[in-house]
Amino acid sequence: GQQLNQSPQSMFIQEGEDVSMNCTSSSIFNTWLWYKQEPGEGPVLLIALYKAGELTSNGRLTAQFGITRKDSFLNISASIPSDVGIYFCAGLSYGGATNKLIFGTGTLLAVQP
Amino acid sequence: DAGVTQSPTHLIKTRGQQVTLRCSPISGHKSVSWYQQVLGQGPQFIFQYYEKEERGRGNFPDRFSARQFPNYSSELNVNALLLGDSALYLCASSLDTGFRNQPQHFGDGTRLSIL
């Protein structure tokens, strides 16, 4: 199935470090989303982006909607152990009356206390 | 308020069997979508239902079917199970099919294992 390219695939960092991850697509999206998934749970929405160039923050998280509408970035500042999980980007694809999320391949984040 | 609830949480089946997974959306949400998440990958879109009608279908075989009930809950059915159907099946709900400011909220999924 279709998946967006997300990098890096995994990150192992020390508590307090900043984190950056990005997502690219060959297709244009009108909406970009970032989710976090922890073991045994479903994805939880972190940030939603609706306009090209938009920069949105949610606490220590900041995400940007790329100008070309084909990419997005997520930054986490001052990481803490509870940031551990898999982060997914998702582009929203509109088609008639349907909207479906196209997910990225995920970035596994591990934080060493 | 209760979030999206899915049942059962875990299920073990053998090849060739049939399975039914259930989802209750967030109260007031009329749209339900189903996704399949294979280990190590992001979720893949299977179906979207709104007001009991199918509004979208992903690239899955006809062995996969779904329906939505008048109370907006939904069932996903998979027939003639294959080993490759082993995955986490996620349900997401939203107010309607229009997305802006109406994000899709996910349940914790049903883990389906095929032996």
| List of E strands, chain B | 5-7, 10-13, 19-24, 31-37, 44-50, 53-57, 64-68, 74-78, 87-94, 105-106, 110-114
Residue B109 is predicted with a pLDDT of 97
CB spacing of A42 vs B106 below 8 angstroms = yes
What number of C-beta contacts closer than 8 Å exist between A and B? 74
State the sign of the Cα–Cα–Cα–Cα dihedral B51, B57, B60, B61. Answer: positive
pLDDT band at B103 (very low <50, low <70, confident <90, very high): confident
CB spacing of B42 vs A98 below 8 angstroms = no
Condensed to tens digits (0 to 9), the pLDDT of residues A70-88 reads: 999 999 999 999 999 999 9
Q: Which residue does chain B place closest to A90, by CA atoms?
A: B42
Region for residue B73 given its phi and psi (left: phi exceeds 0; alpha: psi -120 to 50; beta: otherwise): beta
Condensed to tens digits (0 to 9), the pLDDT of residues B41-87 reads: 999 999 999 888 998 899 999 999 999 999 999 999 999 999 999 99
- Per-residue pLDDT at B101 exceeds 80: no
- A41 chain-B contacts, CB cut-off 8 A: 108-109
- Per-residue pLDDT at B95 exceeds 60: yes
Residue B56 touches chain A, beta carbons under 8 Å: yes
Tokens, residue B79:
């027939």
With tokens 């192992």, the residue in question is A12
Say how far apart CA B42 and CA B101 lie, in whole Å.
23
